[in-house]
């Protein structure tokens, strides 16, 4: 198939691009190469090659006729380009409206003009914090806790509207905290690898009493790409799908696991996340039963994926900030 992937120079996007190439598809990468996009990610997975084409564009602007001619008529559009940093969304919400809502509308218009199928990549954060024992299903109510989540929810509703109004074949996915090779070093897992390697203290966001760490269902980027590949073959237009890791892990447990793989002691500080990170939530959780009933589960265990990621990062310290990674262990 011919597939356009927006944001394919990003962390999750390049893993999806790698999987689409492995599946034998031809891909066109649409990216503006801002602080999230990095051509070195694409170079390391063998792009460019005869299966790929790159088109530079900022999706805040419409995809005009000239760009449409360059992109052609795809079978699928996988829309992954987005602004994702929660703290930046709190400081500058309008930029997230432009990047996540306006940009998605421009992609939907391109899909409508070409009658391409579309997969919109969303987030667990649209559901807001999950109380203990709660895992949100695809159709549960939304309760955005920050502007980032609200703009992703708004973009989702545009996708639903285009499906209902124009009969555009759109699917929506939600996933949780994704990790893996070539992740931005500001994120918790690569940051923790660097800090543990350097003997520095790791910040663990916790409850008010600083006794309970926040938790997530972490999932490797290659598992997310595997789920996307599965949905292109088995998903249905108008449906939403949760892509969920196999088990819930709290961030202190995760930091201890990383320290074990790095073979260094863990030094850490528990902090009240409400005070230090307003707009963030202590626990997120998604119900993955819909995908499981369809026949998809993560292809690797969390433990195996985490061990591989830590070792790869130690072997490739250039993907950590030089100021962070003083020692490669």
Predicted pLDDT of residue 223: 98
Lowest average pLDDT, out of 12-21, 211-220, 278-287, goes to 278-287
Phi, psi of 124 (to 5 degrees): -65, -20
Is residue 157 annotated as a catalytic residue, yes or no? Answer: no
Kindly state the average pLDDT of the residues 282-296.
96
The alpha carbon of residue 25 and the mean position of all alpha carbons in its chain are separated, in whole angstroms, by 21
Q: Apex CA 291: angle with CA 286 and CA 136, to 5°?
A: 20
pLDDT band (50, 70, 90) for residue 274: low
Kindly state the average pLDDT of the residues 134-146.
96
pLDDT band (50, 70, 90) for residue 328: very low
| Helices within 210-301 (DSSP H only) | 221-234, 251-262, 273-276, 289-294
Kindly state the average pLDDT of the residues 284-290.
96
Burial 89-116 (b: 16+ CB within 10 A, else e): bbeeeeebbbbbbbbbbbbbbbbeebeb
Cα 45 to Cα 36: distance, rounded to the nearest angstrom? 17
Q: Which residue has the tokens 């980032």?
A: 148
Written as six digits, the tokens of 21 are 């190439």
Does pLDDT of 141 surpass 50? Answer: yes
Predicted pLDDT of residue 275: 64
Does pLDDT of 324 surpass 60? Answer: no
List Cβ neighbours of 162 (8 Å cut-off, separation of 6 or more).
108, 111, 112, 168, 170
In the chain the domains, ranked by start, together with CATH numbers, are 2-177+218-243 (3.40.50.720), 181-217+248-282+301-319 (3.90.25.10)
Does pLDDT of 273 surpass 90? Answer: no
Over pLDDT 70: what percentage of the chain? 95
List, for residues 234-252, the tens digit of each pLDDT value: 999 999 999 999 999 999 9
Predicted pLDDT of residue 6: 98
Q: Which of 115, 124, 122 shows the shortest CA–CA distance to 163?
A: 115
Does pLDDT of 326 surpass 50? Answer: no
Phi, psi of 243 (to 5 degrees): -105, 110
Cα 325 to Cα 328: distance, rounded to the nearest angstrom? 7
List, for residues 150-195, the tens digit of each pLDDT value: 999 999 999 999 999 999 999 999 999 999 999 999 899 999 999 9
Judge whether 232 and 5 are in contact, CB under 8 Å: no
Q: Which is catalytic among the residues 31, 110, 120, 125?
A: 125
Is residue 125 annotated as a catalytic residue, yes or no? Answer: yes
Predicted pLDDT of residue 323: 39
Q: Which is catalytic among the residues 31, 124, 248, 281?
A: 124
Name the more confident of 324 and 133: 133
Written as six digits, the tokens of 293 are 């009933």
Q: What SS3 class is residue 171?
A: strand
Cis peptide before 225 (omega within 30 of 0): no
**CA separation, residue 304 to residues 44, 175, 185, 311 (Å):** 22, 19, 21, 11
Mean model confidence pLDDT for the chain: 94
Q: What SS3 class is residue 156?
A: helix
Q: Which is catalytic among the residues 110, 120, 136, 148?
A: 148
Predicted pLDDT of residue 280: 67
Predicted pLDDT of residue 35: 74
Does pLDDT of 62 surpass 60? Answer: yes
pLDDT band (50, 70, 90) for residue 327: very low
Angle between helices 188-197 and 302-315 (to 10 degrees): 60
Name the more confident of 85 and 110: 110
């Amino acid at each position: 198939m011919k597939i356009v992937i927006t944001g394919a120079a990003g962390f999750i996007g390049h893993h999806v691009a790698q999987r689409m190439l492995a599946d034998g598809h031809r891909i066109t990468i649409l990216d503006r190469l801002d602080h999230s996009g990095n051509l070195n990610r694409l170079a390391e997975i063998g792009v460019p090659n005869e299966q790929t084409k790159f088109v530079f564009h900022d999706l805040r602007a419409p995809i005009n006729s000239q760009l449409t001619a360059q992109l052609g008529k795809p079978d699928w559009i996988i829309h992954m380009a987005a602004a994702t940093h929660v703290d930046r969304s709190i400081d500058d919400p309008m930029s997230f409206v432009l990047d996540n809502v306006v940009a998605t509308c421009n992609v939907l218009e391109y899909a409508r003009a070409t009658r391409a199928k579309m997969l919109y990549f969303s987030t667990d954060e649209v559901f807001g914090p999950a109380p203990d024992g709660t895992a949100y299903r695809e159709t549960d109510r939304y309760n955005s806790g920050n502007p980032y989540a609200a703009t992703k929810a708004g973009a989702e509703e545009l996708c639903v509207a285009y499906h209902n109004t124009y009969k555009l074949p759109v699917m929506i996915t939600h996933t949780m905290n994704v990790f893996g090779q070539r992740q931005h070093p500001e994120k918790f897992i690569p940051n923790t690898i660097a800090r543990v390697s350097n003997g520095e203290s790791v910040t663990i966001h916790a409850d008010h009493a600083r006794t309970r760490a926040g938790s997530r269902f972490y999932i490797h980027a290659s598992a997310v790409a595997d789920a996307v590949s599965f949905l292109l073959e088995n998903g249905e237009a108008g449906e939403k799908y949760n892509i969920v890791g196999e088990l819930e892990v709290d961030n202190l447990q995760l930091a201890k696991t990383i320290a074990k793989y790095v073979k260094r002691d863990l030094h850490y500080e528990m902090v009240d996340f409400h005070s230090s990170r307003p707009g963030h939530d202590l626990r997120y959780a998604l119900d993955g039963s819909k995908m499981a009933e369809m026949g998809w589960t993560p292809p690797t265990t969390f433990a195996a994926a985490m061990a591989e990621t830590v070792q790869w990062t130690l072997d490739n310290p250039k993907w950590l900030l030089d100021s962070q990674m003083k020692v490669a262990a």
